Structure 1
Amino acid sequence: MLPKINDILFIQVNSVDEEEAQKEFKSRIADIRDEVMSIEIPIEVRTGRLKKLYTGDQLSIYYMSEGGVKNYFNTQVEGFKRDVISLVLIRKPKPEAITKVQRRTFLRVPAELEISVKLADHHQFLAITEDVGGGGISMLCDGKEPIMQKDAVSCWLLIPYRNGTVDHVPFKAEVVRTKELDTGRRLVMLGFTEISDADRQKVIRYCFERQLELRKN
């Protein structure tokens, strides 16, 4: 479902400044025409301050639809116009470019990303993901690592985007299942138990970009 006039958008600005990239803003759709949507000047959710945007800024956005579904898409600032109030013009997403995320349904994509894992006893190790999704990840680690089903872990996931920026996403998870492989490595499936909406959006954004990349190949 495409966004509609008066829908509230939750926005992150893709920035090389990690602190700035983590801020979440919200705005309202004022008008929709052909390939462009007009939105009100975004306001930072935490502080209530207005956010100045520039033509070409890359945005990661989600909005809510019926049933609590979050709809994610990427876009960019196309320009500005003055009506009764100042408005920002952004590119309207195509229906096929919108990723719908329900509570129990998350897009998962194959991906080899670096992840740091810390167990409850503070033992820490590095691993490589096998797939990534909005609800959790699967990773490959050395079979000698003392990680078992139902273990609680704290992690940092390194996420590189197509525009060259890199994000570090912290989260807590539970080991859902493990599988010993013939190679001596262990496949570990993690389900997120604590992850902020902003950080989950970063994972979803990466999955969306990765899916587009896989479709091209």
Structure 2
Amino acid sequence: MLYKDKIYEGLSVQIVVPEGEYQGRYKTRVEEVGQKIITIGVPVAGGQFIPLREGTQLEVVFVDDLSAYSFSTVLIKRLSVPIPTFIIEFPEKISKVQRRKYVRVQVVSPLQYRIVERNGLGIEQKGFMHDLSGGGLLFHARECIPEKTPVLVEPVIGDTPMQIPAIVVRCMKEEKDSYLVSAEFYEISEKTRDKIITYVFELQREMRKKGLV
């Protein structure tokens, strides 16, 4: 199977529970890889283990230096010793999205931003994110921000508020007192970029399910 060698012990993954009482995204890691099964740690949220039932359908998402991957699986068995783990089915198919292309998806949500000035950060301004990718974002603002202006954007990625340095590459007037600002992320950590790419990938997957892309 393509990409099966991408799954290995110690790999950080996110499991997505699409519905039910524990619907959401949870971080964990691969503990062991077999021919037909994968053992992962039971994820923790709010200091508590997530008690998913056997038979729960899951989506597993992970990334490497070039791509994001996902596969569908099912929780086969729960174990409590020597450590709490889930045993899931080894996938029949793993899907891949190229990270180099920085897939862009529409995301409409409020954000804050500040212009980086010589003597520090400017006044916090409010705007709306229009779309997002691993390389940058497009957002609505009430002012035209000149090209090459450094800004600190503060979007919410998933459930996590972030502060991300960026450089404005384009500003387009939409209507009176409304502008579309395109900004590229600047000097961000791979951990932060991975989180953004994983979030974008999950949004794209949900849109495909709904027939929107």
Give the TM-score normalised by the residue count of structure 1.
0.66
Q: Residue 113 of structure 1 corresponds to which residue in structure 2? A: 109
Instruction: Map Cα deviations across residues 114-154 of structure 1 (whole Å, 9 max, x no partner).
Output: 11101113222111112111111011111xx2621111111
Give yes or no for contact 1:108–1:133 (8 Å, CA) kept in 2. Answer: yes
User: 2:196 pairs with 203, 206, 210, which one?
Assistant: 203
Q: Residue 131 of structure 2 corresponds to which residue in structure 1? A: 131
> Is 1:2 matched with 2:13?
no
User: 2:156 pairs with 155, 158, 166, which one?
Assistant: 158
Identity %: 20
User: 2:66 pairs with 56, 63, 69, which one?
Assistant: 69
Any unmatched runs of 5+ in structure 2?
A: 18-23
User: What SS does the corresponding residue of 2:4 show, helix, strand or coil?
Assistant: coil
Any unmatched runs of 5+ in structure 1?
A: 16-20, 44-50, 161-165
User: 2:174 pairs with 168, 181, 196, which one?
Assistant: 181
Shift of 1:186: 1.3
Give, in whole Å, the separation in 2 of the partners of 1:9 and 1:24.
11
Q: Residue 147 of structure 2 corresponds to which residue in structure 1? A: 149
Q: 1:95 to 1:187 in 2, by over 3 A?
A: farther
Q: Which moved more, 1:207-216 or 1:80-89?
A: 80-89
Q: Residue 101 of structure 1 corresponds to which residue in structure 2? A: 99
Give, in whole Å, the separation in 2 of the partners of 1:202 and 1:124.
24
CA RMSD in angstroms comes to 3.9
